[in-house]
Structure formats: structure tokens, C-alpha cells
Amino acid sequence: TARMAQEMPYNPTKAKEHGRENATSPLPGAVTPSAPRDALASTPSEANHTAKYGDAAESGVNAAGGSLNRVRADSSGQTLTTNQGVTVSDNQNSLKAGLRGPALLKDFILREKITHFDHERIPERVVHARGSGAHGYFECYEPLTKYTRASIFAEKGKITPLFTRFSTVAGERGSKDTARDVRGFAVKFYTDEGNWDLVGNNMPVFFIQDAMKFPDLVHAVKPEPHHAMPQAASAHDTYWDFVSLMPESTHMLMWQMSDRAIPRSFRMMQGFGVHTFRLVNEAGQSVFVKFHWDPKLGTHSLVWDEAVKIGGADPDFNRRDLWEAIDAGDYPEWELGVQIFTEEEAEKYSFDVLDATKIVPEELVPVQPVGRMVLNRNPDNFFAETEQVAFCAAHVVPGIDFTNDPLLAGRIHSYVDTQISRLGGPNFHELPINAPLAPVHNNQRDGMHRQAIHRGRASYEPNSLGGGCPFQAGTAGFVSFPEPVQQDEVRGKPEKFAEHYNQARLFYESQAPFEQQHIADAFRFELSKVTVAAVRERVVSMLRNASEDLASKVAEGLGMPLPEAMPKALERSPEPEIEQSPRLSLTARPGDGGIRTRKVAIMIAAGTDGASAWTIANALQAEGAVVRFVGPRIGPIATSDGDQIDADASLENQPAVLFDGVVVPDGADAIGILVADGRAREFIQDQYRHCKTILALGNAATLLTQSGIEVTPNSQDKGLLISAGGAKEATQKFIQALAKHRHFERETLPPKV
């Protein structure tokens, strides 16, 4: 009988995470006619423990707390009903006068069904519309009480539940995952002192310095308003027009044109809080802080040609990757690091720490790890959780505070404001995914979609009729850091904000040669899509201020002469502290050296040597890789030893770009079939071109040569493995090479195959 490679490690603790380890359907507390009435009595966020009013509501009924059962609905074994709980006898036919007669207006069942459907969509996020989320937890390594009173950092081993959403920025909700774009990295910590949202990106700087420019930036990058093109792409005129007139964007453009804009996986990218924030301790003392997320799997990216092809082959590429890894129990993990520095230290830097287009290089202030985030549960329902989650840069907790970064100031306003229209009113904080674990008590009342049923007469303060409750917490509550301010009201910028190129240069100079090449290639690609020559010129003239090398590569790639450098705002730039920061290269974080969750294709056809195919498949799966047998079609494929292998993917439905590596086992007949199949050759060519690990056993070397790949015995290419010998020894080499992710030493411009 055919065997399948699909024995993916199933997450054994999954049922427990869903509170279902001993469950008989339906879930306890499910909103069904059989659910006990008191399971419905609590409210999502509000608690009222006063003896006066009795035990009305349980506090902290929240996604993260594991007590979502109140709102979880499970229809297994249940009868179909209307929204009013009336059972429905026929869900196929509308009510008509006679079998061929007109439909009747009184068919409330049809009308309710259609009306609800008509309103199923809500507005998408104005930016970051496309995203994917997961639940998890944060674990504190050591108390950080010296610097902050934030309870999340109070004790070693303290666990705080959280929900994280990753996103692209420019594309619409249904756009592809692999656009060249910044990735959002937003974390909602349900701390015991209220929600803290760290709403960051996978790049530590931003395009603009002042929130005043945010709508302009977004209008420029979104599809052009007259014809609504291009979707999820910055490679068009309005974007480059805008950024080339905003030289402060130069540093961010380096990051955006780097491979960081096309991550291999959300699990393999860093995250950053971007702004300088404040930590405040119990004594009210404050330090500045920058937040960093470092992925355990290291930082790895796609290559552009691959990203473009994945856009067609699997637009959900990053979403699927995150979902499958968590589903399989391979929980992604990041370390949270902080850069802590004082206001006095910051004064001395050549850049302003309130300027979001600047980093604080790790050479100046090292990143200290303070805890880790583990994402260990996929949402039950994409809409209820990932779509309705509402992050907000203004959500801080005691011990964490803002600085005067003018970009942050605009964000403190923007998020709640946008969510009022996106989520239909001011009560979205009561949605289960948004509700804090900490109890909520205040005098806010009413509004669209109110969930809480407030008891009592007093909804004002001061009051005596409600016993003065809820009362102020005093210094135990959130106290804003009392930063002294005495200034004139002005519209303007401090002097250091006018220096735009030092850190752009630092970033470029800190990249590995292949990364520098990719940056030049990305600028070339994007600008080649710009139709107005003056815009292309202005970008290159701006780049000259950051790197002559880069500017000339881009100019050459566009077939244009090198323009004059753009005039600088500052005659004399402040001297940068450093010229190189190796930590800025993706190569600085290779990961754990393993191959867990990496996808490998074993290419088979009728006559494949089944024994070596299985030897390799088993060895790879033992190391945690995800193996697929890819054949000319899916279904059973006869092997040379008279057995069968069930191909679970085909050259058509899972092309090369969806795999991190490929193995072609021996088998004369099979290789003959594959050589004659253009899709097999294209598969091998793409794997080669995208610098992935390729193993050819025995005869399979012919498939490589027939695909135009030179197979030289003593090649420097560590990712091109040709083996005449047994599968066993070759597999070990393959695993080592696969762990390196890519073999950029192979890369040429233009590509050889």
C-alpha cells in the first residue's frame, strides 16, 4: 500500500490549549440551548465584586486567559437555529406561495440569513490590512524592577498571555503575503495591570519623522487613486515621487529595499518597537528604552524572483507557514531585548533619539535580553480574533511611558480613532480578543454594541450613591512621567533631525556583499517601474549622499548617468559614532542551526528508487523537516522496487518556490520522465537560481545538467550536492547544507539559469 510523508508531528497538547482535553461535545459554556444559563451571565471585560450588587460578572474573560469558553460556539451535535434561537426546519428553500410562486416577505428566516450575510464585511485596516495572528505568552527572565515597575517584568519566570499579529503594510486584506514591504509586528500583552500593546515593525526605523506626514506617505504608497494600481507594491511613481522629496526616508528605504522586506517566514524576522520609549521604576526614575524582538530561528529572507513567483503559487505563504508551524507544535519563539540608556547619554549622540528614522546602534548600547515570547496557539476564528484585534500605540501600563517622539505622538491619537470606524463604535475594547485580563471599571457608558450590563445608579464621579466607586488609584495607578516642559509653541524640527544620511550609509556598509547587491537590485527593480525619469533621477541623487557605490550601481542598472548629489539640509553633518555595525546584517542571526519546519521536496516519478527516497525522507523528518513527495501528478507512483509512493504534491500544485530544498533520488526511468518534463527542469532551475540546497543521487545528476546547471566535481557551491554513493551519507550533507538556508556564493547577475 502507498505510504505518505504527511505524518507531520501533530501537536499533542493542542486539545489542552483549547480546554478540550476531557471534553465531550459541545464545549463547556458554548452558547447553545443546552448551555447552563449562568454561563451566559458574565460580561467580557467588566467585573463587579461589590457585595452590594452581588456576584454579577467574572472578571477577565479573555482570549488569552484560556477562559474563552463563554464566547466559544461549537455547533457539533446541535440543531440549526435563527439568531433568536428558534430552530430552523428547512435551510434549503425560501418560503413561497406555491412551489413556483413568488417568495414571501414574511420569510423572516430567509431575511435574517441574507441580512446578516449582507453585513459580514467590516472595513479593512487603512494600513496593515493583511495580517496573521497567534496566541502565546511572554516569560520574564529576570526582574527588571531596577528600571520599570511594569508588572510583566516584575518576577523571574512570570508568564503573561499575549496575542501577536504580523502584517504587510500597503496591500489590501486579500493581497499576497510576499510583497516587498515592511512587516507589522504587533504584540498585545494582557498584563495583570492592563493591556500593553507594543505595536512595532520588522524594521527599527520609519519613513518619516512626524505624524503630520503619515497620511501623505500612505497615500503615496497605496495604489494610485485614479486606477487603483498597483496592488501591494511600492514600485510605482507616486511612492518614489514622495520619498524622493522626503530625504528623511533614505535610511528606511535601505531597510525596505533590503531582503528584510521579503521575509522567508514571520518566524524568521526581528521586530522592533521603533520609537524610544521610557521605563519608569517604583521610585519614579526614568530611563530611555528601545525594544527588540529576536527570532530563535534566526533572520532569513526570500529572494526577489522567488517572492514574485510565490505571489502566484501561494499568496498565503507567510500565513500558512505560521499556522502550520504552530499546528505542528513547532512553536515560534522570540527573545525580547531592551536597549536602556539615560537621557544624558542620549544628549551626546550624533543623532536624536526622538527621531524615528534613527536607530541606536548596538555598539553604543547593547541589547539585553529580558524575556521570551512563544506563540503556541492558532486562533479559533480568524475574524473574531485576528481581524477584530485592535492594537493601539497608546496602550501602555504603569512602568512604561512615552517620549516626545513626534511620530509617536500622532500614533497615540490614531489607533483608537481608526478603530472606532473600523470596528463600528467605541466599545471594541469589549470584544473578547481585546478585553484586558485586568478588571475594567469606569463611568463610560453606552454606545454601539455595548456588551457590559452596568449595574447601579452612579455613572459619574465623584458620587456618594455608588459609595464613591470606582475610586481613583492614586500613585498605585498609571502616573505619567513628569517630564519638565517649557518651550514656545512652534511647528518645526530640532537640528539633528535634519541629518538624513549617516545611518543610511551605516546600514548599507554593514551588509554582507550579497545583501548590498540585493539592495541595489531592489532599487533598480522598483525604479525601473517608475515612468517619470525625473523621479528616478531624484532617488539616485538622494542615494549619492548615502553611498556612491549604491548610487552608481543603481544608475547603471537603470541605464542612466549619475546625477548630481541632492543638496543636503545641513552644511556640516554631525560625525557618526561608528562606520560599521555587523549586527545590522541578516547574517548576524543564523538561527539555531537546525532544519525544523523547513520544507523539502523529494522529486519522484515512475521508476524512482524507493529505498533511497524513503531513507532520505525519514532522516529529514526525524530532524523535524517537512517532507513532500513531488511527482508529475499526485497519487500513487510506482517505484523501481515494485512498491509505491503516494505523491502528496505535484510539480504543478507545489512549484519549487514553496520549498527550501530539493532531493532527486536515483532511478533511470524516473530521471528520463523528469528530464522530459519542462516543469521538473523549471523546478530544478528555480531551486538553483534561488540558491537553495539541491541533492542529486546517481542518475539524477542528468536532470541537473539537462536543466542547464553545471555539475563540477570540486565546486565551491556547498548547496549543490551530487552523490554517486548511498542516500545515507548524502542525507547528512544535505541536512547541513539545508541548515544554512541559502548558498549565495552561487548567485550571479544576470542569473545563469
Interface with ligand HDD, residue 186, by CB under 6 A: yes
Distance CA 160, CA 515 (A): 37
Contacts of the segment 426-432: beta carbons below 8 A, 24+ positions apart = 427/451, 428/388, 428/390, 429/45, 429/390, 430/43, 430/44, 430/45, 430/46, 431/44, 431/384, 431/388, 431/390, 432/44, 432/61, 432/62, 432/63, 432/68, 432/71, 432/384
Among 60, 136, 161, 184, binds ligand HDD (CB under 6 A): 184
Output the smallest distance, CB 58 to ligand HDD, in A: 27
Phi, psi dihedral angles at 440 (to 5 degrees):
-115, 125
Q: Is 357 in the site for ligand HDD (CB under 6 A)?
A: no
Clarify whether 201 is annotated catalytic. Answer: yes
Q: Is 267 annotated as a binding residue?
A: no
- Asked if residue 53 belongs to a known ligand binding site, the reply is no
Does position 410 bind ligand HDD by CB under 6 A? yes
Contact segment (CB under 6 A) with ligand HDD among 25-33, 196-204, 475-483, 528-536 equals 196-204
Contacting ligand HDD (CB under 6 A), which of 5, 179, 187, 356? 356
**Given the complex with ligand HDD, which of 352 and 537 has the nearer CB atom?**
352
CB nearer ligand HDD, residue 56 or residue 420: 420
Q: Does 426 bind ligand HDD (CB under 6 A)?
A: no
Nearest to ligand HDD of 240, 291 (CB atom): 291
Stated as kind and residue range, the H or E segment containing 334 is strand 333-341
Binding region for ligand HDD (CB under 6 A) out of 105-113, 120-128, 579-587, 745-753: 120-128
Q: Which of 128, 236, 292, 690 is catalytic?
A: 128
Q: Are 357 and 208 in contact (CB under 8 A)?
A: yes
| Whole-angstrom distance, CA of residue 739 vs CA of residue 734 | 9
Q: Shortest Cβ distance from residue 163 to ligand HDD (Å)?
A: 10
Q: Does 403 bind ligand HDD (CB under 6 A)?
A: no
User: What string marks each residue from 138 to 177 as x (binds ligand HDD by CB under 6 A) or -?
Assistant: ---------------------------x-x----------
Nearer to ligand HDD, 405 or 666 (CB): 405
> Does residue 378 belong to the site contacting ligand HDD (CB under 6 A)?
no
Binding residue per annotation — 508? no
Q: Is 411 annotated as belonging to a binding site?
A: yes
Is residue 426 within 8 A of residue 447, CB to CB? The reply is: yes
Query: Within 13 Å, how many C-alpha atoms sit on residue 682's CB side?
Result: 11
- Say if residues 693 and 738 touch (Cβ distance below 8 Å): yes
Least Cβ distance, residue 184 to ligand HDD (angstroms): 3
Among residues 125, 278, 372, 628, which is the contact residue for ligand HDD, using CB under 6 A?
125
**Of all residues in the chain, what percent are helix, strand and coil, respectively (each to 5)?**
30, 15, 50
Question: Toward ligand HDD, which CB reaches closer, 124 or 747?
Answer: 124
277 binds ligand HDD (CB under 6 A): no
Residues in the chain: 753
> Which residue out of 48, 69, 201, 376 is catalytically annotated?
201
185 in Cβ contact with 200 (< 8 Å): yes
Total residues binding ligand HDD (CB under 6 A): 27
Residue 239 three-state SS:
helix
What are 670's three cell numbers?
A: 524516473
**Would you give the DSSP letter of residue 27?**
P
Identity of the amino acid at 231: Q
**Is residue 627 a contact residue for ligand HDD (CB under 6 A)?**
no
Give exposure, 715-745, as e/b (b: 16+ Cβ within 10 Å): eebebbbbbeeebeebbeebbebbbbbbbbe
199 binds ligand HDD (CB under 6 A): yes
Q: Is 128 considered catalytic here? A: yes
- Kindly calculate the radius of gyration of the chain based on its CA atoms and give it in whole angstroms: 29
CA dist 526 → 27, 135, 264, 507, 543 (Å): 51, 36, 20, 19, 14
For position 86 contacting ligand HDD by CB under 6 A, the verdict is no
Cell 532531493 belongs to which residue?
A: 663
Is the CB of 262 or the CB of 727 nearer to ligand HDD?
Answer: 262
Query: Facing residues of 258 across strands?
Result: none
Among 206, 402, 428, 497, binds ligand HDD (CB under 6 A): 206
**Residue 200 binding ligand HDD, by CB under 6 A:** yes
Which residue stretch of 70-78, 194-202, 642-650, 710-718 sits at the interface with ligand HDD (rule: CB under 6 A)? 194-202
Please tell me the distance from the alpha carbon of residue 626 to that of residue 620, in angstroms, as a whole number: 8
Give yes or no for residue 616 binding ligand HDD (CB under 6 A). Answer: no
Closest CA to 358 of 410, 407, 393, 399: 407
Tell me which of 108, 141, 323, 415 binds ligand HDD, using CB under 6 A: 415
Copy the grid coordinates of residue 339. 536597549
Phi, psi of 590, deg, nearest 5 = -70, -20
Q: Annotated binding residue at 3?
A: no
Strand partners, 140: 371
Give the binding range for ligand HDD (CB under 6 A) out of 146-154, 414-422, 553-561, 598-606. Answer: 414-422
Which residues, in sequence order, are CB contacts of 745 under 8 Å at separation 6+? 716, 717, 718
**418 binds ligand HDD, rule: CB under 6 A:** yes
Minimum gap (Å) between residue 605 Cβ and ligand HDD: 44
The footprint of ligand HDD on residues 208-237 (CB under 6 A) is 211, 214
Q: Which residue has its beta carbon closest to ligand HDD?
A: 184
Judge whether 239 is annotated as a binding position.
no
Catalytic residues: 128, 201
Binding site membership for heme: which residues? 125, 165, 214, 411, 415, 422
Tell me which residues touch ligand HDD (CB under 6 A).
Answer: 125-128, 131, 165, 167, 184, 186, 199-201, 206, 211, 214, 274-275, 356, 389, 391, 407, 410-411, 414-415, 418-419
